Amino acid sequence: MKVLFLCTGNSCRSIYAEAVFNYLTETRHHAWSAGSHPTGEVNPLTVIWLEKEGIPTRGLASKSWEGLDLAPDVVITVCDDAAGEACPLFFGKAVRVHWGVPDPSKAEGSEAQIEAAFASTFNALRQRIKAMLALPLDELAPEALHDALATIHQTQSRQDGEST
């Protein structure tokens, strides 16, 4: 299964998702990330957080979805609806689902508050990806996969809200 994580800047959230998915998955599944308006660099705090968690960062790069030579099976957008972000729309043939999470690069405040934002986004995506990888991905029909991925987001969003 080929999974594409999309957001606008491709510097934090989609990078997190790509790195975590590839770290946790078996070799027959693989993730990529891209952005509709990539920043051109991975946020340094994203790299620091991934390395702190023991997740490899080699090869991670902020890139546009326009140049990707990839026909994904699943496209997951991670833009934050609550912040009014415009998520990219993927028009290819793929299961499409939305896992909106806050952009930690927009966090303001003390160093501790900014680090907490990066931790929160990382943990939210990691929990969703763990739940996704617990599914029988190779056995689910596209509609069932879509429904399962949407349910993961809804369930995790409620749990995220309870833990704040």
Please list the active-site residues.
7, 79, 87
pLDDT tens-digit map of 41-76? 999 999 999 999 999 999 999 999 887 888 899 999
Distance of alpha carbon 30 from alpha carbon 135, whole angstroms: 15
Query: What is the maximum span of the chain, computed from C-alpha positions, in angstroms?
Result: 46
Q: In the prediction, which pLDDT does 68 show?
A: 80
Distance of alpha carbon 38 from alpha carbon 9, whole angstroms: 4
Average the pLDDT over 77-85 and give the result. 66
125 is written with which tokens?
Answer: 């995506």
Calculate what percentage of the chain has a pLDDT beyond 70.
90
List domains and CATH numbers for the chain. Answer: 2-163 (3.40.50.2300)
Distance of alpha carbon 128 from alpha carbon 153, whole angstroms: 7
Which comes out higher in pLDDT, residue 86 or 159? 159
**Amino acid symbol at 119:** A
Q: In the prediction, which pLDDT does 82 show?
A: 46
For the beta sheet containing 30-35, the strands, ordered from the edge strand earlier in sequence to the opposite edge, are 30-35, 2-7, 74-77, 95-98
Average the pLDDT over 72-98 and give the result. 75
Buried b (16+ CB within 10 A) or exposed e, 44-59: ebbbebbeeeebeeee
77 is written with which tokens?
Answer: 């957008």
